[in-house]
Chains A and B, each alone.
Chain A
Amino acid sequence: MPDESFSIGGAALDSLFPFHVVIGADGGLLNVGSALRRAVPEICPGQSFAEHFRVSRPSRLAGAEGEPERLQGHLLRLVAGKGGLELRGQVTPLDGGSAYLIAASPIVATSEELNRLGLHVSDFALHDSAPDLIILLQASQTALQDTRRMASRLEATSEELRRAKEEAERSSQAKSEFLAVMSHEIRTPLHGLSSTIHLLGDISMDAEQRELLDVMGRCNETLGMILGNILDFSKIEAGKIELDSVEFELKDLVERTVEVFAEQARAKGVQLRTPKQIPALQLKGDSVRVGQILTNLLSNALKFTTEGHVALELEARDDGSGRVGIDMRITDTGAGMTMAASESLFEAFSQADRSTTRRFGGTGLGLAISRRLARMMGGDVALTHTALGEGSTFSVHLSLEKCQEDDGARGDEAGVRPAVASFPGRRVLVAEDNVTNRFVICKLLERRGLDLEFAGDGRAAVEALDRGEYDLVLMDLQMPHMDGLEATRRIRSSGGEQAGIPIIALTANAMTEQRNEALDAGMDHFLTKPLRPEDLDKALKRFLESPSEGAVPGGD
């Protein structure tokens, strides 16, 4: 039981509740708190409570201002005076119900309201947390401003990033275009060089001259491979590489690839071990790229091995889902490397160390390209073992589509090394503006017994076809006045006798888009410079040996 012997004086009451009022049983104001009097000066003791105060909550008590006993036990919301000062309060009886205390405090949420009501923090009792709420609210406003400011900074930053990204994309685009142009520019003289070397091979010469020519030939091959690597890597970087899907024979592909290194291995005194049994599997995929991966790894292994052996092992697993998993392991007894040096091995332009480049040469792109290609084929290339001075083992995993038995019957033309073909009396129109290229092509075609005529640009080619009869057109793409694409379109749409003549693009433009453009324009085949005589022979055979099939598309 609370001790009822205390009574609280007016000063203590005012200190605890500076916005209080005390009303008598008749509803008259007995006492008004000092802060309330300052805030609402018209309220004075002696007047009636109902005259100055209205209960706005609970709403069922609206109008009950004259009956203080009814207001007990409720959290009241009161409106005071003409200014409408809102207060929260509680009614409690004093002296056994002869009077009632209304302990009240203004409802203020913001410092702005505090000022509008003309109140100071010091008007509130120290225990009253109303001013604390104002401080808290202001602090949360500050935090909100921080958030807004940071959000707008983030927005600005992401805008900057977006611009930087666009800029990078533009520059990457420019790089790709530059590479396309450079590719063309480098391939044109390379074509002249390789074709000339090839032609020189047919001329009788003494042993010393032959040796010099071989050196030229090897340099030319290397140059071609380096150029190919750089272009491949740029295409991979630009996401522009696309995998072909052609049928090929695994055994044949592996054997042909390995064969290329046989002579090099013999010359170095390194044993080249190949699998005894390679499964004869008919697969579908990008055979050129599969060959490229194997070539890169064998070439690396041989490059870094001066004695001992380079061994290729191969396993093929048919998982029954129409795909074949191929695992190859290339082990060498060469230089090897430390694990630390091997970490950046698959990064572009990297070799185990800088001195490697000086000793062994190379662009350092081969492994990066091989891994990217393998990954595009659902596989990977990895270094599985290496130690300095003990050689290295690389593994290749590929997942390739298996051919149905019936579409595998075609065999692989590339497997056969034909002798130089001969087509006596057949007439070829060559549209080519470059003098060196003309010379080279002239020599190559003459050796194959072909009659040929030149057109210096696309327009001249179209006119030549109007006048004379030909069996085949070799068409350069970039020519003055009218390019090869436009000339092809005109020939195809001319409606003349020669509208269906086989047209083969012969160009230094090696990018995939350009190949597609040529085929879209109506060309039947696409040969790139530097031109490999085997490719030329294959194309000539295809289009000249059975003229009725020559223009059937989709033969490649």
Chain B
Amino acid sequence: MYGLVNRAVEGLIRQEFGDEAWGKISSRAGVESLEFVSMQTYDDQVTYDLVGAASEVLGAPAADLMRAFGQYWIRYTADAGYGDLLKGVGGSFGEFLAGLDAMHGRVAMTFPDLKPPSFECEELSPSRYRLHYYSDRPGLEPMVVGLVEGLAERFSQAAKVEWSAESEGHTVFEIEVAPVEGNAADAR
């Protein structure tokens, strides 16, 4: 994973649980460097260890933490300068989901070290989607749930997400969105 991901994990923990918690978690995870370098590749295990350590230190299930991280990731990348790029992926929730795979594909072409997941989106109706997720990294589905929820929030929608494993490396997410009252549905 790129350091940007680990930085976001750090950002979430510091924001929600404080600097002291981050100190405990990073030392338990054996993180040696003082700071993650955003564009440097780190072993995936570093990220898994961070999540595991956070789960132990905070006494929260790893799945809950990953879901929270997924939601946070959307806000974090937007704040970290990727907001315009997110807008460029799609002007609505549906457009965004449809553009998700091309987006990840381009990232994969641009940064050959990075192994982003692949997506396929079926629009069942304007409020129902079926998202196919293909990844070599096991156990990150709760994070995808958080990502979808965070994305919906960005377009002033509330998302209900359920998932089931289709086969190894292929998971299907059933998504239903409804506008959050009092907000425009289009973030553009």
**CB within 8 Å of B: which residues of A?**
110-112, 114-115, 119-122, 126, 129, 131-132, 134-136, 138-143, 145-146, 150, 153
In the assembly, what is the distance between CA of A111 and CA of B83, in Å? 8
Interface status of B14 (Cβ within 8 A of chain A):
no
Chain B residues within an 8 Å CB radius of A134: 85, 88
Chain A residues within an 8 Å CB radius of B179: none
Q: A138-B81, A142-B80 are in contact. Are A132 and B39 (CB under 8 A)?
A: no
Chain A residues within an 8 Å CB radius of B87: 111, 114-115
Chain A residues within an 8 Å CB radius of B124: none
Instruction: Supply 15 A–B pairs (Cβ within 8 Å), ascending by A.
Output: A110-B84, A111-B85, A114-B84, A121-B89, A121-B102, A122-B98, A126-B105, A132-B109, A135-B107, A139-B38, A139-B110, A142-B4, A142-B81, A143-B37, A145-B38
Residue pair A135, B106 in contact (C-beta under 8 Å):
yes
Residue pair A142, B38 in contact (C-beta under 8 Å):
yes
Residue pair B111, A119 in contact (C-beta under 8 Å):
no
Chain A residues within an 8 Å CB radius of B4: 142
Not counting A111-B85, A112-B84, A122-B95, a sample of 16 additional A-B residue pairs whose C-beta atoms are within 8 angstroms of each other reads A111-B84, A115-B88, A119-B88, A120-B91, A121-B89, A121-B102, A122-B99, A135-B85, A135-B106, A135-B110, A138-B81, A139-B110, A141-B81, A142-B39, A143-B39, A146-B39
Interface status of B90 (Cβ within 8 A of chain A):
yes
Cβ-closest chain A residue relative to B37: A146
In the assembly, what is the distance between CA of A142 and CA of B40, in Å? 11
CB 8 Å contact bits of B45-71 with A (1 = contact, 0 = none): 000000000000000000000000000
Cβ-closest chain A residue relative to B39: A143
In the assembly, what is the distance between CA of A504 and CA of B105, in Å? 92
Chain A residues within an 8 Å CB radius of B99: 120-122
Residue pair B84, A139 in contact (C-beta under 8 Å):
no
Cβ-closest chain A residue relative to B84: A111
In chain B, positions 71-100 with a C-beta closer than 8 Å to chain A are: 80-85, 87-91, 95, 98-99
Cβ-closest chain B residue relative to A117: B88
In the assembly, what is the distance between CA of A141 and CA of B102, in Å? 22
Which of B38, B85, B102 lies in contact with A122, CB distance below 8 A? B102
Which of A110, A120, A132, A146 lies in contact with B38, CB distance below 8 A? A146
Residue pair A132, B81 in contact (C-beta under 8 Å):
no
In chain B, positions 5-48 with a C-beta closer than 8 Å to chain A are: 35, 37-39
In the assembly, what is the distance between CA of A135 and CA of B95, in Å? 19
Cβ-closest chain A residue relative to B106: A132
Chain A residues within an 8 Å CB radius of B84: 110-112, 114-115
Chain B residues within an 8 Å CB radius of A112: 84
A392, chain B: closest CB distance, angstroms: 45
A141, chain B: closest CB distance, angstroms: 6
Of B80, B81, B111, chain A has the most CB atoms within 10 Å of the CB of B81
Residue pair A145, B81 in contact (C-beta under 8 Å):
yes
B183, chain A: closest CB distance, angstroms: 20
Chain B residues within an 8 Å CB radius of A111: 82-85, 87-88
Residue pair B38, A121 in contact (C-beta under 8 Å):
no
Chain B residues within an 8 Å CB radius of A142: 4, 38-39, 80-81
In the assembly, what is the distance between CA of A132 and CA of B104, in Å? 10
Interface status of B103 (Cβ within 8 A of chain A):
yes
B7, chain A: closest CB distance, angstroms: 9
B184, chain A: closest CB distance, angstroms: 17
Of B83, B88, B106, chain A has the most CB atoms within 10 Å of the CB of B88
In the assembly, what is the distance between CA of A126 and CA of B85, in Å? 17
In the assembly, what is the distance between CA of A145 and CA of B103, in Å? 23
Cβ-closest chain A residue relative to B109: A132
Which of B35, B88, B105, B106 lies in contact with A120, CB distance below 8 A? B88
Chain A residues within an 8 Å CB radius of B90: 120, 122
Residue pair A121, B80 in contact (C-beta under 8 Å):
no
Of A119, A135, A140, A145, chain B has the most CB atoms within 10 Å of the CB of A135
A556, chain B: closest CB distance, angstroms: 59
Residue pair A138, B95 in contact (C-beta under 8 Å):
no
Chain B residues within an 8 Å CB radius of A153: 35
In the assembly, what is the distance between CA of A119 and CA of B188, in Å? 11
Chain B residues within an 8 Å CB radius of A131: 88, 106
Residue pair B109, A143 in contact (C-beta under 8 Å):
no
Chain B residues within an 8 Å CB radius of A139: 38-39, 110-111
A202, chain B: closest CB distance, angstroms: 73
In the assembly, what is the distance between CA of A146 and CA of B80, in Å? 11
In the assembly, what is the distance between CA of A336 and CA of B35, in Å? 51
B99, chain A: closest CB distance, angstroms: 5
